[in-house]
Structure 1
Amino acid sequence: MADPPAAPVRGVLLLRTGQACAEHERVVQQQLAQSLAQVLRLPFLGAASMLPNSTSCYLIPDATLIAPQPGIATELDLYGALVSHPFVAGKAISHPLVDSTATAPQGWSSEFIARAAGAVLPGFSAFDRHDALRAGRLLLPAGPLRAKLVEGRAGRGQCVLHDERQLQAWLDELPDALLREQGVVLEQNLTQVSTYSVGQLRVGPWCLSYFGQQRLTTANDGATVYGGSDLWLVRGGYSCLGDHFQSPLIRLAIAKTRCYEEAAEVSFKPFIASRRNCDVAIGLAPTGQQLMGVLEQSWRIGGASSAEIQALQAFAADPDLQHLCASSWELYGKNPVVPPQGRILYQGNDPEVGPITKGVSIRPWQPPVTP
């Protein structure tokens, strides 16, 4: 069924929601918003912390929005997502509670958990210290667990815990309000991990889908963090994407992403998402068994968005173009080696992370080395 027509749009607005945002992220977001305005052939209205009353806008929020939001009726109204409850926007959506007596946030859906069970890794979400300890006691006999803060980004805000004492110490550092409002995630820890991305963007009349491989890098403080993504994009939906790959692993990653997203669409109302991205990990469990599952979703402007939007510009400019490759990159240090023909989106000494260079590049389609 075709989407209903959107209300008349007079411009593109970058919406600042008050989320913590580093300088380099703010600068890149503004450039990407300007690029989307060019693709849509609309004026860029700049950034604002609230919606103007007199203007109908195409919104680019810096976080997933929580319903209700007047003016957002369909995916044609924004680059990002509108969801029913705050927890739906974060990592906690991905795992069940420890049991039926556990503390649950408003809107928690057992239906989603049941529908998405085959798409995620073994683990639990918890919104209470006692529930998190109970979850840890179930997971730790199988081996180390990975503990995650729901708001952690770029690989930060998580650690590997080996016993209940370490879990107790980690929980003791967390405020009760954070546990209650955001929750935490405890997953079976995998080794020899590779992280992929499967996603889709629907902007105006265009629909692009992609498979991607994430890269890690070393930040200025020595931490191992997200370093960018290499995307293989095609014109069309997930079925078109699957047609371009013979690798069973890639097809399985696409299938798990579709299962996860479809579970969210059915289980949470309202749910509107024009920007979709799932991190999918594959690695070894402590038993030696190979596992694959969706780690989390990102329904907001994110690390791979620069590659997505650069690719969208190319597809919009050439109606015959059917597939291409695009890469985002984040390079730390004062004198990084920029990829050939790369477009720099930010280069400077960010007050939070130090010297960093961020950019994007595109290249003709070349199938990935089969994982």
Structure 2
Amino acid sequence: MEQFERARIDSYFARIAAEFAPTERPSSFLITHLLPERPSFVGAVGRTSNLRAVLPKPKSIDAAARRAIEKTTPCETLSREMFEDPDTAVEYIESRAAGEAVVLLDVGGYFTPSLDAICNQVSGRILGVVEDTENGHKRYANSDKLPCPVVSVARSPLKDPEDFLVGQSVVFSTEALLRSRGDILHGRPALVIGFGKLGASIARLLHAKGVQVTVHDVDPVRRTQALSQGFTVARDRDVALHGAGLVLCATGTVSLRGEDFATLRNGAYVATVTSSEDELDLGSLPDVYQRTPNGEHVTRYATTGHYFYLLNRGNAVNFLHGASVGPFIFLVQAEILAGIRMLTRGDLGHGMREVDAADRKTIAATWLNYFNR
């Protein structure tokens, strides 16, 4: 990134941080993808809160970004197990922010398994959570009773540009890996599993490239939406899997279980838009399948009479090429900062919440002033 570009991003986040500065700074813990542009956002989180730790998602860490952040803030190792055990989760928060008011900044619902214990057992006060993703939104929304407010930016209109461009990056990376093996998208029927914002974007982009696209979604409303947009909608999921030469998983939950892989046609490619632990049940794949590297970032799974290819070991395929969505990501990151201020006011009831429409307009206007040039 050129120096003047970095300066513009830093200036933008300084303006946003000033606009949404809380009257009293809470402490915070930040889970994030540590991509090359991320230090500016992390710096803004540090200006609006006492940032106790950055927890990078392990499969999306840029080394230079980590080095830059570690100059001011500890970067610690993140795993799902870290917050699955309530005692471990409470001990972790307590060891770094005992007696303090705390905001948890999440990407994917990491805090959900232990949120009750964290809210009820730490010596300080959990003001709430800000969640970034649809997958995480669902995990919090499905909780029986949330013990604190959860401000979700996952369904914000400011996230629509990011979702569209993530779809573009997924299709780009998938095509790049196919071409690295001498294959192409054309002539290879695709099955998109999940027709949410990301899945719909992927389906449209594949269609625009001349690919025959079939859609499957467990939600009948989304199936009608896909049908109205001209896509073939799978009546039988197993038949659709068997007919697809490319399967793109975009549900945020388990799309393919062990028995599903045997249904894939020979030579099919499988790619996901989230981590393998969320999207694929690779652990239940029969042991008879042998795994062999087959080109960079492509693994061939084979047994007698059957084989398929898994891209990027089942992790989000677009992270192989930076997963860049340009400056549009800064809209969502600014909304996360607005969420911090909302939580520090202390007037939100427990449950799912959204950033105010007026704050979104302020963010959009500021963003346009910096990046619509």
Q: TM-score, normalised by structure 1?
A: 0.26
Q: Which has the larger radius of gyration?
A: 2
Q: TM-score, normalised by structure 2?
A: 0.26
More strand by share: 1
